[in-house]
Amino acid sequence: MVADWITILDVRGGQKNELYKIYIGDAICDDNSHYFIDRDPTLFHYILNYMRDGRVILPDDGHTAARLRVEAQALNLDELAEGLLPFMSKSTGFIEIKFQ
């Protein structure tokens, strides 16, 4: 999936998001000038839709919103992360265990 630079620059959250760091050269690329974003590829299209359109359409399954919130937090997309909170069900069908 390729994101347009305009999409990255126009995203809500502005210059503090992780994708903007690629644009300003504050990220490492490979020999072919490709950037590796170590995030869940099954959810990344939701991130791009948010960046392009300012909206996200998710399945109403409880756990997709929770998983997407983790991705949004990792990319410093605070508006998206906060916007997902009301849609996270209390019973998501999984348990998260954090290790330090």
**26 vs 3: which has the higher pLDDT:** 26
53, containing H or E segment:
helix 44-53
Domains plus CATH for the chain?
A: 5-87 (3.30.710.10)
Under the banding of pLDDT at 50, 70 and 90, the label for residue 1 is: very low
Angle between the N-to-C axes of helices 44-53 and 63-74, in degrees from 0 to 180, rounded to the nearest 10:
70
Q: Which pLDDT tens digit goes with each residue over 41-75?
A: 999 999 988 888 888 998 888 789 999 999 999 88
Of 40, 84, 39, nearest to 62 (Cα)? 84
Query: Is the model's pLDDT at 5 over the cut of 80?
Result: no
**22 vs 77: which has the higher pLDDT:** 77
Query: Is the model's pLDDT at 9 over the cut of 60?
Result: no
